[in-house]
Amino acid sequence: MNKIAKLFVTFISAITLALVSFTSSFAKVEGEYIVLGSAISLTGKYSSNGVHTQNGYNMAVDRINKMGGVEVQGKKYKFEIIYYDDESNPKRAAQLAERLIKQDGVHYMLGPYSSGLTKAIAPVTEKYKIPMVEANGASRSLFTKGYKYLFAVLSPANQYLEVAIDLAVEKNGGKGVKIAQAFEQDAFSQDVRLGILDAAKRTGSEIIIDDKLPKELNDMAATLAKVKAVKPDVLVVSGHTKGALTAIRQISEMKVDVPMLAMTHCDAAKLSKQHGKKSEFALCASQWHKNLSYKDKFFGSGKKYAKDFQKEFGYDPPYQSAESSAALLVFKDAFERANSFDRDAVRDALVDTEMQTFYGNIKFGPGGQNVAKPMILFQVRCKGDDCENRVVAPTKWASDKFYHPIPKWSERS
Amino acid sequence: MNKVKQKDLILYSGLIILGLAAPYLFSAFKVQLTYLCVLIVLAMTWNLQGGEMGYNTFGNILFYGLGMYLTASVQVGMFFPLAEWTESGGEKTFVHTTAQYFQGIGVGLLVSAIIPAIIAGAIGYAILGLRGHYFAICTLGLGIAAGEIAGGIEIIGAGQGFTTPPFPAEIVDTEARGKFFYFLSFALLIGTFVFVKYIYGSRFRLILNAIRDNEDKAEAMGIQTMKYKIVGWMCSAFFCGLAGGIMGGLIGYIDSTDVAFDGREMGVFMVLMAILGGKGTLWGPVIGATLFHFFKEGLWTLILGWQYVALGVLIVVIVVYFPEGLMGWLREKYPERFGEVIDEKDRKAQVELK
């Protein structure tokens, strides 16, 4: 026994030594760099959107640094981001937030991807009074917890598809419609569902199918079989990127005819590229579209942003990238107005944010959500085999008319 | 014999002092240290089944997740309507006072120890008749099923997840929360260790070993194997539930499949850690969990995107080169260092007998 004991003591002391040598604390501001921290899903079920988010962050960091950086008290600083992979797991995300703050000495955080992970990180940043500007946590419950250091540049999730129901009712001559819906079991999609429930109540619509989809989403045939049988007016599906891809794949395979199909995450899933004509007429909620006419001095217009993004990363930016880039513009603005690196000064400056970016207007409500920017809806439309997303609502931004109802599969070529 | 005990005493008091001092020495690492304590507890309790009893269970994650939900539910439900707390969208804000928070978590932990133990008894009665890989597969299903079921129960947040009560705002010290959870988990670790060590010195362990080595013979010798198997599993569930309860409070957000019934990660990790250290030994799971945690925390961020590949390689290396775990490997290489002098005497005695 004593031999094992000795071994164990040696082991423990080795670990202690290792631990001590690991404790290298970055400062919040190191030399000419302002260090931001972020846990991002580089692996796991959110990995594709995690990468969109990271690309958005990196794009903005490069641009801001190239254009002179952040000026605080007469000195120019550059942004730098420390990334960790949260593996799409809330438990890991909370742990990494703690690590960023305590071990890497990060004083300003950028959000992770998805509402669930933001929910896991927010209590940590709140505890240490670390301002976090997040771009990908839309769940309404994030903004009702009284968090003081959480700022979201996006509109809350329950607003995503409410407009779609209004549209359907309008097309139905103002009468309530029959809604079939299927949502992934996660914080974001469940919030989208709440929005639909509200809209249904408001418009006197009836929900005839209300299904839950599993998290590792790759089959929803059961729901679609029901849809085929009961013929609703609208089918609503939300389940991040995989949900959008699965829905289109199986709807086209099973030839499900439904007059209106409303979804989320179509652009992140690159639906119009991956499924081409099969995805035509899908109606999608989006935080942003490149054709909107917002402007700023860093990225110019949305179109310019999309072009630069395409050049840098080789694909059209989904709104997840755009809103992530906007988060850094917000931070830059707040640092300069606070003219200080004091966390509370920066936090107070964030509260007073009122600005326009290429992504949209940004002004934070009392809960931290962005109240200055509406959601938009676009519809996938094709010319020959070339499909693209056209904005159809709200009318102010619309570049195309909303096509309704979706033609039957037997009539589609 | 006394001399050895004295040395043990020095070792244990040294470790306890180190454990108590750790959150002050490595203030920035408190959360990782808390995780370490919980991981060790999970590995040690898994070892009771997988190592001592020879029943490879993937189901212990069920008790861990149950503990997590139970602690949080009790902590909220004692003072506020649980349904409104977890209601999707959560329009209302409830705030625990300091006293409520600690009372809640105290009672919650108690419940999270007892109920999983009872459930382990009930499930054990039903499935501990299965042996070998049939048992393993059956328990694998338990965790997955629990995750899916929890994801559909509205009162505990369903797919939205369950935000556990935030640490009382009246405590201004930002370090207090970290310290509280660390000491809680450290106390649990000591409790578990003392308990497992006690089992190691008892007849109970011999019975478990007998079941592992030949269950039919054990039964033929008059041991009521079913009874002991169930009791063994209930003991594991007791500590797993507590570990889950503490983790729920620490993480602050419970998600049905990713945090609570996280069979894909925690469920596999606990098996891996016990095997890495050496199953069927007292110190194996402790060392395995510690090594694993350091490997994970130290290396994973350096190899972003490849960490699961590295984990796969690690599993292959363990299984191929250290099938008996580190302790088993060391024991084979340096048997005399493991106090196996008794074997030596035995051998001599046997030689003399001849």
Give the start-to-end residue ranges of the domains of chain B.
30-323
Whether A334 and A269 share a structural domain? no
In this structure, the answer to whether residues A165 and A137 fall within a common structural domain is: no
- CB within 8 Å: A2 and B7: yes
pLDDT at residue A15 is higher than 70: no
> Between residues 36 and 65 of chain B, which touch chain A (CB distance below 8 Å)?
none
Q: Is A178 exposed, middle or buried (0-12, 13-18, 19+ CB in 10 A)?
A: middle
Identify all chain B residues contacting A187, using CB atoms and an 8 Å cutoff: 159-161
The answer as to whether A347 is a domain residue is yes
Distance from CA of B320 to the nearest CA of A (A): 23
State the average pLDDT over residues A294-304: 91
pLDDT at A27: 52
Instruction: Note whether B177 contacts A: Cβ–Cβ < 8 A.
Output: yes
Per-residue pLDDT at B316 exceeds 90: no
Contact at CB, B159 and A139, closer than 8 angstroms: no
Residues of B in contact with A145 (CB under 8 A): 90, 93, 163
User: Given a cut of 90, is residue A112 above it in pLDDT?
Assistant: yes
> Which is more confident, A214 or A322?
A322
- Give the model's pLDDT for residue A379: 92
- Helix segments in A145-239, DSSP class H: 162-171, 187-203, 221-230
Res B172 pLDDT > 50: yes
Secondary structure (3-state) at B139: helix
Q: Are residues A271 and A396 in the same domain?
A: yes
**Of A24-33, A143-152, B41-50, which range is least confident?**
A24-33
Give the tokens for residue A365.
């409500």
Is residue A145 located within the same domain as residue A195? no
Please say if the pLDDT value at position B341 is more than 80: no
Residue B27: pLDDT over 50: yes
* Same domain, residue pair A100 and A202: no
pLDDT of residue B28: 84
Domain identity same for A189 and A248: yes
Statement to judge: residues A45 and A96 lie in one domain: yes
Mutating which of B2, B11, B253, B308 best tests the A interface, going by the most A Cβ atoms within 10 A?
A: B253
Q: Give B30's contacts in chain A (Cβ within 8 Å).
A: 102
The pLDDT of residue A385 is: 83
Give the integer Cα–Cα distance in Å for A82 and A69.
17
The CATH number, out of the four listed (3.90.550, 3.30.70, 1.10.3470, 2.60.40), of the domain defined by the range B30-323: 1.10.3470
* Cβ of residue B8 closer than 8 Å to a chain A Cβ: yes
Secondary structure E strands in chain B: 162-163, 253-254
Q: How confident is the model at residue A399 (pLDDT cuts 50, 70, 90)?
A: confident
Q: Cβ-count burial of A26 within 10 angstroms (0-12 exposed, 13-18 middle, 19+ buried)?
A: middle
**CA of A98 vs chain B CAs: smallest distance (Å):** 7
- The whole-number pLDDT of residue B309 equals 83
Sort out which chain B residues have CB atoms less than 8 A from A158's CB and list them: 89
pLDDT tens per residue, range B259-284: 999 888 889 899 989 988 988 889 99
A149 and A42 belong to one structural domain: yes
Q: Which of these, A251, A254, A287, lies nearest to A271 by C-alpha position?
A: A251
Tell me if B161 and A187 make a contact (CB, 8 A cut-off): yes
Q: Which run of H or of E encompasses A382? A: strand A376-383
Average pLDDT over residues A282-303: 90
The answer on pLDDT for B92 being more than 90 is: no
Question: Number of folded domains in chain A?
Answer: 2
| A216: closest CA of chain B, how far (Å) | 10
DSSP annotation of A370: B
Is residue A187 located within the same domain as residue A251?
yes
Residue A398 lies in a domain: yes
Q: Is position A177 within any domain?
A: yes
Which domain range does residue A270 map to?
159-286+375-411
Indicate whether A79 belongs to any domain: yes
| CA distance from start to end of chain B | 29
Q: How far is A138 from chain B (nearest CA, A)?
A: 11
Say what percent of chain B tops pLDDT 90.
Answer: 51
Interface contact flag, A98 B304, Cβ < 8 Å = no
**Model confidence at B89: pLDDT above 80:** no
The reply to whether A123 and A143 lie within a common domain is yes
The verdict on A75 and A198 lying in the same domain is no
Q: List, for residues A116-154, the tens digit of each pLDDT value.
A: 899 999 989 988 899 999 999 988 888 877 888 999 999
Residue of A nearest to B306 (CA): A43
Give the residue-averaged pLDDT of B3-12.
79
Residue A232 lies in a domain: yes
Is there a contact between B174 and A127 if contact means CB atoms under 8 Å apart?
yes
Minimum CA–CA partner of B334 in chain A: A3
In this structure, of A8-12, B150-154, B169-173, the range with the lowest mean pLDDT score is A8-12
Q: How many CB pairs under 8 A join A and B?
A: 172
Please check whether residue B15 touches A, CB under 8 A. yes
Residue B151 at interface with chain A, using a CB cutoff of 8 Å:
yes
What ipTM was assigned to the predicted interfaces of this complex?
0.78
**Helix/strand/coil percent split, chain A, to 5:** 45, 20, 35
pLDDT at B236: 95
Q: A167 with A213, same domain?
A: yes
Nearest CA distance, A384 vs chain B (angstrom): 39
Residue A218 in any domain: the answer is yes
pLDDT score, position A3: 61
Distance of residue B166 Cα from the nearest chain A Cα, in angstroms: 7
Domain-embedded: residue A10: no
DSSP A101-137: HHTS---EEE--SSHHHHHHHHHHHHHTT--EEESS-
Task: Enter the DSSP assignment of A352.
Answer: T
Q: Is there a contact between A181 and A264 (Cβ–Cβ < 8 Å)?
A: no
Looking at the predicted structure, is the pLDDT value of residue B339 above 70? no
Cβ of A18 within 8 Å of Cβ of B301? The answer is no
Residue pLDDT, tens place only, A162-188 = 889 999 999 898 899 999 999 998 888
Confidence of residue A21 (pLDDT cuts 50, 70, 90): very low
Considering CB atoms only, which of B161, B308, B337 is closest to A43? B308
Q: Does B323 touch chain A (CB under 8 A)?
A: no
Nearest by CB to residue B338, choosing from A4, A43, A126, is A4
Interval A35-92: pLDDT, tens: 999 999 988 888 889 999 999 999 999 999 999 999 999 899 999 999 998 888 898 9
What percentage of chain A has pLDDT greater than the value 90? 55
Is A125 within the bounds of a domain?
Answer: yes
A368: closest CA of chain B, how far (Å): 15
Distance CA B54, CA A317 (A): 53
Q: Collect all residues with Cβ–Cβ distance below 8 Å to B333 and sequence separation of at least 6.
A: none
pLDDT for residue A413: 66
Quote the CA–CA distance of A76 and B245 in Å, as a whole number: 47
**Residue A251 C-alpha, separation from nearest chain B C-alpha, in angstroms:** 24
pLDDT in tens, A247-284: 999 999 999 999 999 999 988 888 888 888 899 999 99
All residues at 6 or more sequence positions from B198 whose CB lies less than 8 Å from its CB, including other chains: none
Compute the residue count for chain A: 413
In this structure, what CATH number is given to the domain that contains residue A341?
A: 3.40.50.2300
C-alpha–C-alpha distance, residues A59 and A321, integer Å = 9
The whole-number average pLDDT for the span A301-321 is 93
